[in-house]
Amino acid sequence: MDIVKKLSCHCGAIELALKLPNGLEKLRKCNCSICSRRNAVVASVPLENLKIVKGHSELSRYTFNTHTAKHFFCSICGIYTHHQRRSVPTEYGFNIACLEGVNIEDYSHIGYLDGKNNHPKDIR
C-alpha cells in the first residue's frame, strides 16, 4: 500500500505530500477559537512527513496569541490545509477533508478536544 498521500486545497494551487505509514493518527476536532470556526477534522504527522509539492507562493500563514501555532491556508480558494501545532510543535495537523481518498462522512463521529478550556499549553 502506498503510504504517501496527496493533500490539496480546493483550487489545486496547493499540493502537499504526506507520509502516513500508520494511516490517520490523532483524529480530532477542537473547540478553540480558530478550530471551532473552521470546524475541520484533523490528524497529525511529524513535521518531516509533510512536504510542500507546489504552491509555496500561494500558501498564506496566519498566527495569533502566542504565535506558536502556524496556520496555513490557500490564498486563492481560502481552504485551510494544515498547521504547525502549538501543543506539539514537532507535528503538523492537517485537514483530512483535503486528503485524497477520504470520504468525510466516514468521520462524522469524531469528537472535540477541549482546546478552549483545557489546552495542554494553557494548564498551569
What are the residues facing 74 on neighbouring strands? 59
Total length of the chain: 124
Q: Which CB atom, from 28 or from 54, has the smaller least distance to Zn ion?
A: 54
Residues making contact with Zn ion (CB under 5 A): 9, 11, 13, 74, 76-77
Q: Which CB atom, from 32 or from 96, has the smaller least distance to Zn ion?
A: 96
Smallest separation (angstroms) from Zn ion to the CB of 73 = 8
Cβ neighbours of residue 83 under 8 Å, at least 6 residues apart? 42, 69, 70, 71, 72, 92, 93, 94
Q: Which CB atom, from 8 or from 84, has the smaller least distance to Zn ion?
A: 8
Smallest separation (angstroms) from Zn ion to the CB of 60 = 10
Q: Which helix (H) or strand (E) holds 83?
A: strand 80-84
Smallest separation (angstroms) from Zn ion to the CB of 92 = 18
